[in-house]
Chain A
Amino acid sequence: MNRKYFAVFFKEAIDNLRDRRTLLTVLVFGPLFGPLFYTVMMSTVINRQVADLDQSYALAVQGAENAPGLMDYLRQHNMSIEKAPADPREAVKTGKLDVVLVVPPGYAAAFSAGRPADVQLIFDKSRESAGKNIDRARDSLENYSRAVGALRLLARGVDPRAISPIVVEDADVSTPQSRAVLLLGMMPYFLLFAAILGAFYLAIDSTAGERERGSLEPLLTTAVPRRTLVLGKLSAVTLFSAVSLGIDIAALVWCQHLIPAAKVGISVDFTPSNAVATFLVCLPFCLFIAGLLSVVASFTKSYKEAQTWLSFIMLVPMVPVLGMVMFPMEPAWWMMLLPSMSQDVLVTELIKGEPLNGMFVALSVVSTLIIGGGLASLAVWLYKREQILG
């Protein structure tokens, strides 16, 4: 039985290694797309944010001559003052300017008299990209207002602290590493995606593809128990899935150094030992997905039909992962019973640098293996029916 099992296993592996599409999917597209896409995206976002902070920023002002003190203050705070166009509303509406400050002629008189002096900020809230510049202009104005207010109180002999009965002090206890979760939050998704894509073509080829080529019928006339046949095939699918997963993890370890996370005060430290733990935690998922894809592909009549079904089935394990992104929850034991959700939770803990809960790991491994084993038995049963020939 062992020799025949390995014969099936090696044949499926070698046969599919000769298929360029399968090879590219297992070695390149599945495992590398996520990390590369992610690195490029994050690097771009971070670099742009950092660049924006350092950049001096031009503020268009109408009636600057009415408020020389305010203009001096703004210039001291790294802003350059520009003259606004004749029709500031139109300029903002058409997107030429993000924000325009209008100082009316009555400003100086009101300011000197100690009355609230009106200024106007013109902006278009619906434009995402303008948000940062709007906030910056508003913050500067509020700071100026507060500073002048404090001076006025002092001049009247009042302690300016009297108007701040409560001071809120921010104490962020997140470690730089736990903040990395924000950055690497999508990582479990990429890992599971790579594991699924790695299994995808081989699962189809060894079931629906075999039937479509007409090679399944002669195969079933050989003196191999159906169980051995199915287990050999499933093992090959699991191996391909695990290879894709391994490459994906290695790529992520390497890519993290390319993301300039330190610039925004986040430390990404996905150590090699964490990477190994991640691989081991996700390994049962490879068996699970091999079983799931093979069972579904056994029902379908052709390669094309299998592809259609599996493209859809592929999304199912992603539902819990995306659910966790939208509705973040604390890890709980029941999550460990669901394949893909349990791996998602455990990998997230590993990225945070938190110690793993041993009971959770055991639950995750055992439940995923049991469900995967159930799917494998179902595949064996399907192969024992004569309808397997379609």
Chain B
Amino acid sequence: MIEVIDLKKSFGPVQAVRGVSFTAQDGHITGLLGPNGAGKSTTLRIISTVLKPGSGTVKVDGVDVVSDGNAARMGLGVLPHQSGLYPRLTARENIRYYGELNGVSGAALAQRIDELLELLEIGDFADRPAKGFSQGQKIKVALARAMVHGPKNLVLDEPTNGLDVMATRALRALIRKLKDAGHCVLFSSHVMQEVAALCDSIVIIAGGVIVARGTPDGLRKQTGESDLEEAFVKLVGTEAAA
């Protein structure tokens, strides 16, 4: 479970996040939706501990990310905006490195890697250097890397960016599988259909504040629009005008 309580963050004079609060439950897929520059990535980066909150609190399974960053990171798997694989290491080595860094080792690690290679269908290119990977292959390996230590919570920053239809579908299936296994999945997107197809609950963020939240159906009702995209435009538009 990831709890975000009244989060604020500024970069110099720019207030990127201005008081965001939400909770992502276990066994739920929570979508963070918003236009470019809304503060989605900043929020996710604070949750994944690479940025420090200006004020407010983030708890991962009850552990504060600021006071006990290392313990919080143990419970987190993060897929950042860029996959950030090491081009000279193979897929397997990339995954193994993160396993070791997160305290998994020996036979347990080897077994876990094999499971992930199968789950994510990486087998074919597991022992090739990451340099020549396609975007889809990179995302898969980065995801395996994020999950290697078996974290309860997964934070995915625009995971379907640059993926083709087939790869996107496979990824959606995987995210549902993770949900069924009881994981807490928090992911960001600026694509409405994507969020609508996957999420149990949606948090819509614009200009650094939450403008709406609820289930896909709830949001349709709230705005009186049958099309979610129209609902989105309406919600974000009112915020921009305000």
CB neighbours (8 Å) of A8 from chain B are 101
A214 to B86, CA, bound (A): 9
CB distance from A303 to the nearest CB of B (A): 13
**In contact, A4 and B100 (Cβ under 8 angstroms):** yes
CB neighbours (8 Å) of B84 from chain A are 213-219
**B73: contacting residue among A15, A18, A222, CB under 8 A:** A222
**In contact, A220 and B50 (Cβ under 8 angstroms):** yes
User: Which residues of chain A from 1 to 47 have any CB-CB distance to chain B below 8 Å in the complex?
Assistant: 3-4, 7-8, 11, 14-15, 18-19
What is the interface residue range for chain B against chain A?
35 or more
CB neighbours (8 Å) of A14 from chain B are 89
Task: Confirm or deny: B102 has a beta carbon within 8 angstroms of a beta carbon on chain A.
Answer: yes
A19 to B88, CA, bound (A): 8
**In contact, B50 and A223 (Cβ under 8 angstroms):** no
Given A218-B142, A218-B145, A389-B50, CB of A223 within 8 Å of CB of B73? yes
For the residues of B in contact with A, the DSSP-based class is: loop
**In contact, A221 and B86 (Cβ under 8 angstroms):** no
Task: Confirm or deny: A87 has a beta carbon within 8 angstroms of a beta carbon on chain B.
Answer: no
CB neighbours (8 Å) of A3 from chain B are 100, 103, 105
Task: Confirm or deny: A225 has a beta carbon within 8 angstroms of a beta carbon on chain B.
Answer: yes
**In contact, A217 and B82 (Cβ under 8 angstroms):** yes
**In contact, B70 and A15 (Cβ under 8 angstroms):** no
User: Which residues of chain B from 135 to 150 have any CB-CB distance to chain A below 8 Å in the complex?
Assistant: 142, 145-146, 149
Given A217-B50, A218-B145, CB of A223 within 8 Å of CB of B101? yes
For the residues of A in contact with B, the DSSP-based class is: helix
Given A213-B86, A213-B87, A223-B73, CB of A218 within 8 Å of CB of B103? no
CB distance from A211 to the nearest CB of B (A): 10
Task: Confirm or deny: B171 has a beta carbon within 8 angstroms of a beta carbon on chain A.
Answer: no
A200 to B175, CA, bound (A): 42
A287 to B129, CA, bound (A): 31
Task: Confirm or deny: A224 has a beta carbon within 8 angstroms of a beta carbon on chain B.
Answer: yes
**In contact, B103 and A217 (Cβ under 8 angstroms):** no
CB distance from A195 to the nearest CB of B (A): 24
Task: Confirm or deny: A386 has a beta carbon within 8 angstroms of a beta carbon on chain B.
Answer: yes
User: Which residues of chain B from 73 to 111 have any CB-CB distance to chain A below 8 Å in the complex?
Assistant: 73-74, 76, 78-89, 97-98, 100-103, 105
**In contact, A225 and B48 (Cβ under 8 angstroms):** no
Given A217-B82, A386-B50, CB of A224 within 8 Å of CB of B101? yes
Task: Confirm or deny: B51 has a beta carbon within 8 angstroms of a beta carbon on chain A.
Answer: yes
A14 to B49, CA, bound (A): 28
CB neighbours (8 Å) of B100 from chain A are 3-4, 7
CB neighbours (8 Å) of B18 from chain A are none
Task: Confirm or deny: B172 has a beta carbon within 8 angstroms of a beta carbon on chain A.
Answer: no
Task: Confirm or deny: B52 has a beta carbon within 8 angstroms of a beta carbon on chain A.
Answer: yes
**In contact, B74 and A223 (Cβ under 8 angstroms):** yes
**B102: contacting residue among A215, A220, A223, A225, CB under 8 A:** A223
CB neighbours (8 Å) of B48 from chain A are 221
* Closest residue on chain B to residue A389 by CB atoms: B50
* Closest residue on chain B to residue A228 by CB atoms: B101
A369 to B210, CA, bound (A): 52
A11 to B74, CA, bound (A): 20
A157 to B123, CA, bound (A): 109
**A15: contacting residue among B74, B82, B86, B145, CB under 8 A:** B86
**In contact, B102 and A214 (Cβ under 8 angstroms):** no
**In contact, A4 and B101 (Cβ under 8 angstroms):** yes
**A221: contacting residue among B76, B83, B105, B129, CB under 8 A:** B76
User: Which residues of chain B from 155 to 190 have any CB-CB distance to chain A below 8 Å in the complex?
Assistant: none
**A215: contacting residue among B52, B76, B85, B149, CB under 8 A:** B85
CB neighbours (8 Å) of B78 from chain A are 218, 221
A7 to B146, CA, bound (A): 17
CB distance from A389 to the nearest CB of B (A): 6
CB neighbours (8 Å) of A18 from chain B are 88, 129
* Closest residue on chain A to residue B52 by CB atoms: A386
* Nearest 4 interchain pairs by C-beta: A214-B82, A7-B100, A215-B84, A214-B84
Identify 27 residue pairs between A and B in the complex whose beta-carbon atoms are under 8 Å apart, listed by A's number.
A4-B101, A4-B103, A7-B97, A7-B100, A11-B97, A15-B88, A213-B84, A213-B87, A214-B83, A215-B85, A217-B45, A218-B79, A218-B98, A219-B101, A221-B48, A221-B49, A221-B50, A221-B73, A221-B76, A221-B80, A222-B98, A223-B71, A223-B73, A223-B102, A223-B149, A224-B101, A389-B50
Interface residues of A (CB under 8 A from B): 3-4, 7-8, 11, 14-15, 18-19, 213-225, 386, 389
